[in-house]
Structure 1
Amino acid sequence: MRASGGAMGRASSIGERVAAKSAWLIAAIVMLAALGLLVEGRPPICPCGTVKLWHGTVQSAENSQQLLDWYSLSHVVHGLLFYAAGWMVLRRWPPAARLTLAVLIEAGWEVLENSPIIIDRYRAVTLAWGYAGDSIVNSMADITCMAAGFLIARRLPPWGTVALGVALELIALAAIRDNLTLNLLMLIHPVDAIRVWQAG
């Protein structure tokens, strides 16, 4: 019993050290992403000069400029998908290490998404006509939403994660005629019929 208790204690200690290192790494990744966005010329907050928790009008100058919007749901879905992928491919990694990798990928996407080539692509083929990129606070909130999705998926059974992901996609579809699935499809392979329907 003592040996077993000692082994459990050592495992717990290792887990705590991994979690602590992961927390520092995640903080560093987020800070580097914010710096990268600043170098790209992204505004720290909405150019309108105000910071709001929620902005729900897609076709407006404040879209992707405030903390949360309808596309925040897509970032929660990112987290659900990253957790599922990590569980399938990197199951031996501690959850904290998998979360760190997910944050790295999401932060990298936020920087890439706000590069001129991707902004121009969004403007040309997706619902986001006139899209000018994200504010830094919006990008930081997007990363946070992804992390929230990851942590939620860790607590849910697989069927619950699938159900939540489908529900979030359907909510966004009903609210703004767009979601992660359509966004990716239109970014990679635009479909004129979908673009006409989205213009509604």
Structure 2
Amino acid sequence: MGWASSQCCAAAAKTALAILGLLLATAAALLALGRSPICPCGTVRLWHGTVQSAENSQQLLDWYSLTHLVHGLLFYMAGAFLLRRWPVHRRLIAAVSAEAAWEILENSPIIIDRYRAVTMAWGYAGDSIVNSLSDIGCMTLGFVLAWRLPWRASVLLGVGCELLALLVIRDNLTLNVLMLVWPIEAVRVWQAG
């Protein structure tokens, strides 16, 4: 094994350890916030597709997993412009840190109450820890896809995820941010169907 290969393997191992540490710290913070490790229903499922239900944001994957994949695409793009001198593994750690911070903030009482008040997520109770960690995994997948795919493919993937979620659940990352920051009653009514 050459010097460059051993440097690459060392960077990959350090990145993996850093991400594992971030995941453990996130899980501990969410536990301290009183989040349930798994769905209060007592089961862990790979997929839950019903948005207006008690199991939404409680299982591993749901329709909002697409928004986290889009986070990864956007974080990669932002890092490519703002942190271009950083190696990709450091940008990935920064992206995981940002996503982990969002998961903690998203599950704080102030954001949960905001979601309930102004978005289509009436009755939203926050994420289970397993769902939050899965959301970070989806962001990581989006980041890696953006790193490996041509930029046009990444744009198409992001637009495709947004349109799919919009068509299926009348929500996506764009509407989620809009409604959280600048709620529009007509959008909320439309989302309610």
TM-score by length of 1: 0.94
- Taking the aligned partners of 1:73 and 1:44, their CA distance within structure 2 comes to 21
- Taking the aligned partners of 2:86 and 2:15, their CA distance within structure 1 comes to 12
Q: Is the 8 A contact 1:42 1:134 kept in 2?
A: yes
TM-score by length of 2: 0.97
- Taking the aligned partners of 1:88 and 1:14, their CA distance within structure 2 comes to 25
Give the equivalent residue in structure 2 for 1:172.
165
Larger radius of gyration: 1
Give the equivalent residue in structure 2 for 1:35.
28
Deviation at 1:13, TM superposition (A): 3.2
Name the SS of the counterpart of 1:26 in structure 2: helix
Q: How many residues align?
A: 193
Give the equivalent residue in structure 2 for 1:66.
59
2:146 to 115, 139, 153: 153
- Which structure 2 segments of 5+ residues have no match? none
Q: Alignment RMSD, CA only?
A: 1.2
Aligned residue type for 1:195? R
- Taking the aligned partners of 1:11 and 1:103, their CA distance within structure 2 comes to 25
Give the equivalent residue in structure 1 for 2:50.
57
What are the Cα deviations for residues 136-193 of structure 1, in whole angstroms up to 9, with x where unaligned?
0000100000000011111111111000000000000000000000000000000011
2:174 to 181, 193, 197: 181
Percent of paired sites with the same residue: 68
- Taking the aligned partners of 2:49 and 2:175, their CA distance within structure 1 comes to 18
- Which structure 1 segments of 5+ residues have no match? 1-8
